[in-house]
Amino acid sequence: MATKVGGPSEVKQATAEVQMICDEIKHCAEEKAGRKFVVFTARSYITQVVAGTNYFIKVDVGGDFVHLRVHKPLPHTGEKLQLHGIQISKCQQDPIVCF
């Protein structure tokens, strides 16, 4: 089933590309959370097609989880990834939702 524009995708297992996104914005996530993450492993994600793509990523931070909202602009804009939000104190069972 195709994802409709503006609607969230189904939950997918994290890929190498999603882990690279997490690696690139890790320092921003640490800043917003007010703590350093020794472990920062993407586990699963959903996407939302907008003017670019929003990634909602469940990240294992060593015993607990955070959810990230990362915006990947369209390639022609030349803009970098942006961390638009973080939800902390999540657990493995918490569903990923758009926020």
- Give domain status of residue 97, yes or no: no
13-18 mean pLDDT: 96
Q: Is 5 domain-assigned?
A: no
Task: Evaluate if residue 2 carries a pLDDT over 80.
Answer: no
Mean pLDDT of 21-47: 96
* Predicted local distance difference test score (pLDDT) of residue 58: 97
CATH number at residue 54: 3.10.450
pLDDT at 3: 46
Q: Which residue has the higher pLDDT, 86 or 9?
A: 86
pLDDT, mean of residues 22-41: 95
Residue 82 lies in a domain: yes
| Model confidence at 38: pLDDT above 60 | yes
Residue 6 lies in a domain: no
- Structural domain including 63 reads 12-90
Q: Is residue 4 part of a domain?
A: no
pLDDT over threshold 90, residue 14: yes
Specify the number of domains making up the chain. Answer: 1
**Is 83 a member of any domain?**
yes
Cα–Cα separations (whole angstroms), residue 47 to 5, 37, 62, 93:
10, 24, 24, 19
Instruction: Tell me, yes or no, whether 24 lies in a domain.
Output: yes
